Structure 1
Amino acid sequence: MKIFHLSDLHLGKMVNGFSMIEDQAHVIEQLYIHIENEKPDVILFAGDLYDRSVPPVQAVELLNSMLYKIIKELKTPVVAISGNHDSGERIGFASTLLKDSDLYIAGVLKKSVSKISLADEFGPVHFYPVPFADPALVREVFGDVSIRTHDMAMKAIVESVSNDINKSERNVALAHGFITSMGADGEDELVLETSESEKPLSIGGTDHISASHFGIFDYTALGHLHGPQKSGSENIRYSGSLIKYSFSEARQKKGITVVEIMEKGNVTSSFIPFSLKRDFRVITGELDELIAAALKEKDGREDYIKAILTDTGELLDPMAKLRSVYPNAMELVRKDRMRNPSSLIGSSVSVRQKSKLDLFESFYEDVTGEKCLPEGIDIIRTLVEKIEEDLDI
């Protein structure tokens, strides 16, 4: 059975004020072509279909047209789950009705995970879609007050599935979360590639889930992390996001993870890359040099750009000048004002020990690269005292 595994579409996403709808639609058109050429037996979407719980109209229309094209015109079943960006209730609307049309959506976690069974020449393949759910919801669904972390929550869910699963047949899971290889001491043994555009699921590492829970499945299709990568084993994989959504993803490849499950125990995977309408690029140099280089470019002028300027003097409206050659320039930073990460770590450790004025001075210096003048400090001191007086702090 041939499977297309995708995730983290984030339809409707805005990045630095730029809508990604055109870029997303461009890639989805390529998805149709690959479905026609490769003829997969099923498409898996492992969460974050939308970028927010109440998506914009354009995003809803794009998802609707995509699902119609895949299922009705290309005759390919779809199995999808909600992610942490989705509203499970909205994603799962009419799911009972839609399954008769080969659209299987798990939006809200239930105590019993409903499997979807498809067949090929080797027999049935059972799909277990596990929608995203935080530990509080899992605790309520299973009536287990001991569930406190995402790892404990996923363990409870998979254990409930194991009562139904036939281990002699082929089984596939869909899940959305931070799945990693954890040692006996609870520490991560595997360093996964993360990006700035991924919304944290919890604080302090309690979002980490052991990949060992998925050992009963022949393949696990993961969503949440935006870089395509394996987690724990070759058959537990993130497909990565549909397109790039931050400059931390600039070097990542985006595409489809293609999984082929033959007889029991014989699973292979490959990757089909997408061609992006606009790439995310980081460029470094003096402003005049970057502009001159851009004028010589044949392609790439429409890319999303983060410019790190090495100029040392003052510049007059550098973003406007940059956008004269790169109209989709998103970020501009001055290299001489970038802070050493180690100093930021040190300051975060002692942040609770600093006064409000100290915190303001640090913030001002981080943003401007210069120390605040005494007159500015006096103004802020007066404002802080006034606010504290009004709030009776």
Structure 2
Amino acid sequence: MRILHTADLHLGRQFVGLALDEDHAAVLDQIIDVVGTQSVDVLVIAGDVFDRAAPSETAVRQFNRFLQRVTRETAAAVVMIAGNHDSGDRIGSMAVMPDISRALIRGPVEADERPLLVKDEHGLVAFSALPFSYEHAARACFGNTALETPEHVLSAQVAAARRNVPEGARWVITAHAFVAGGTSGETERPLAKVGGIETVSHEIFDGAAYVALGHLHRPQSVGLPHIRYSGSPLAFGFDEAGAQKSMVLVDLRADRADTTLIPFTPVRGVRVLKGRHAELLLADSSTDIVKAVLTDEAPVIDAMKRLREVFPNACALVYERDERQLKRAGTFTRPVAAAEPIDVVGGFLQLVRDEPMSDREREIVIARLQDLGQKEDAA
């Protein structure tokens, strides 16, 4: 069985004030092209379809046209979930498709999570779609007030899905989460309250043949090779300048999942250019989205205006000397994200004994941190 794994479209998003509608249209076209040319059986979209819970009409129409084309132009089934940027109800309303045998779309969390069953030459494949859910909604859904962390919520979802997987079926899970060990960037929104533990263990997915993840914008595997993030199809911050974005083509065989990264070709690249202002003006003109780091010691008159004559989509400009001064003063150009407590403990253990935290140690630390959180809530 052939699966195409994508995620984190963030339709409607802007890049420092620049609209990305045409950029998104191009990557949606490329997804449909791959679904057709690679004979994909199931298209997976692992959350954050839209950039906000109340997306613009333009973004909604763009995605509706995309789903219509998938249905009309290909034979692929669609598995899709809501991410933390989405409205679960809005994504759930898209579950009404012309052929329900070809779709599994989950917006709100469900206590009785039933899979989409697809058959190939090796037998049944069960697709479980586990949408992102905050703790309060999961408590109401599962009737369990002890769900206090993203790991608790996802564990409850996986357990509910596992009960409905037929005996002997290969199991594919789609989820939107921060799995421990993953590499994040500047543009992901935290999944837990301030000071809370947002990461989950890859061991939650025990028994799955492939796990299609969303949330982290960099393509990567976490924990095990078959647990993967496809990453976002576009770069949304300058920390991803020059990064190769891709979708994951998964060949699910009888005993393993083979993956191939298929690169996206963006309409506009994202670049950071460094040099003297006069030197940058001599570069070839480009529509790429650009941040300029000027090495000039003196301020340049109309620096951005003149730069945009060569790079019309330049949207950020800083002086290297200013950044040096900020570093010497011990400050940064943006707030530094607070480290997760579990990561602080893990880093300390790595430092003092030169080996990572074991799974058992991780369980003990998480339990103690949860005890502390409950005592703080009760105080």
Q: String of CA shifts for 1:154-213, please: whole Å, max 9, x gaps.
A: 112212223333463200000001012xxxxxxxxx3x3212121111233511111110
Contact 1:258 1:269 in 2 (8 A): yes
User: Which consecutive residues of structure 2, in runs of 5 or more, have no partner in the other structure?
Assistant: 337-379
Give the equivalent residue in structure 2 for 1:386.
none
Map 1:20-35 to 2 at 5 A: 20-35=20-35
2:167 and 2:242 mapped to 1: Cα distance? 39
Query: Equivalent residue for 2:200?
Result: 209
CA apart distance, 1:81: 0.3
Determine the C-alpha separation between the residues in 2 that align with 1:96 and 1:111: 20
Look up the match of 1:232: 223
Is 1:42 the counterpart of 2:45 in the alignment?
Answer: no
Contact in 1 for aligned 2:149/2:196 (Cα 8 Å) = no
Residues 40-98 of structure 1: per-residue CA shift (max 9 Å, x gap): 11100000111111111111111111111111221211110000111000111152565
User: What percent identity do the matched residue pairs reach?
Assistant: 35
In the alignment, structure 1 residue 269 sits paired with structure 2 residue 259: yes
Q: Show the counterpart of 1:183.
A: none
SS in 1 for 2:281: helix
Matches within 5 A, 1:1-393: 1-93=1-93, 95=95, 100=100, 102-166=102-166, 168-180=168-180, 190=181, 192-202=182-192, 203-204=194-195, 206-263=197-254, 265-294=255-284, 301-338=286-323, 339-340=326-327, 343-344=330-331
- For the residue of structure 1 that corresponds to 2:33, the secondary structure is helix
Distance 2:184 2:335 in 1: 21
The 2-side partners of 1:12 and 1:348 are apart by 25
Letter in 1 for 2:290: I
C-alpha contact 1:27 1:275 (8 A) present in aligned 2:
yes
Name the TM-score, length of structure 1 as normaliser: 0.81
Partner SS for 1:204: coil
- Specify whether residues 322 and 205 from structure 1 end up closer, same or farther in structure 2 by C-alpha distance, changes over 3 A only: farther
Instruction: State the shift of 1:224 in Å.
Output: 0.4
Question: Which one has a bigger Cα radius of gyration?
Answer: 1
| Aligned-partner residue type, residue 77 of structure 2 | P
Q: Residue 65 and residue 94 in structure 1: after superposition, are their counterparts in 2 closer, same or farther (change >3 A)?
A: closer
Q: 1:226 to 1:164 in 2, by over 3 A?
A: same
Q: What is residue 362 of structure 1 aligned with on the other side?
A: none
Map of 1:185 onto structure 2: none
Note if contact 1:98-1:104 (Cα within 8 Å) is conserved in structure 2.
no
Residues 71, 103 of structure 1: 8 Å contact kept:
no
1:257-315 Cα offsets, whole Å, 9 max, x none, are 0111111x2211111101110000011111111111235xxxxx000001111111122
Q: Structure 1: how far apart are the matches of 2:234 and 2:256?
A: 30
Q: Which whole-Å deviations, capped at 9, do the CAs of 1:344-381 have from their partners, x for residues lacking one?
A: 38x989xxxxxxxxxxxxxxxxxxxxxxxxxxxxxxxx
Q: Which residue identity does 1:218 align to in structure 2?
A: A
Residues 4-56 of structure 1 show CA distances to partners (whole Å, capped at 9, x for unaligned) of: 00000111111111111100101222222222211111100000111111111
SS at match of 1:306: strand
What's the Cα RMSD here?
Answer: 1.9
Q: Equivalents in 2 of 1:80, 1:60: separation in Å?
A: 15
Aligned mates of 1:53, 1:75 — CA distance in 2? 29
Matched positions, count: 332
Rounded to whole Å, the distance in 1 between the matches of 2:30 and 2:215 is 22
SS for the counterpart of 1:221 is strand
Distance 1:255 1:94 in 2: 25
Which sits farther off after the overlay, 97-106 or 12-21? 97-106
CA distance in structure 2 between the aligned counterparts of 1:147 and 1:15, rounded to whole angstroms: 36
Q: 2:100 aligns to what SS in structure 1?
A: helix
The answer on whether the counterparts of 2:283 and 2:310 sit within 8 Å (CA) in structure 1 is: no
Change (3 A) 1:348 1:100: closer
Q: C-alpha separation between the residues in 2 aligned to 1:10 and 1:247?
A: 16
State TM-score, norm by structure 2.
Answer: 0.83
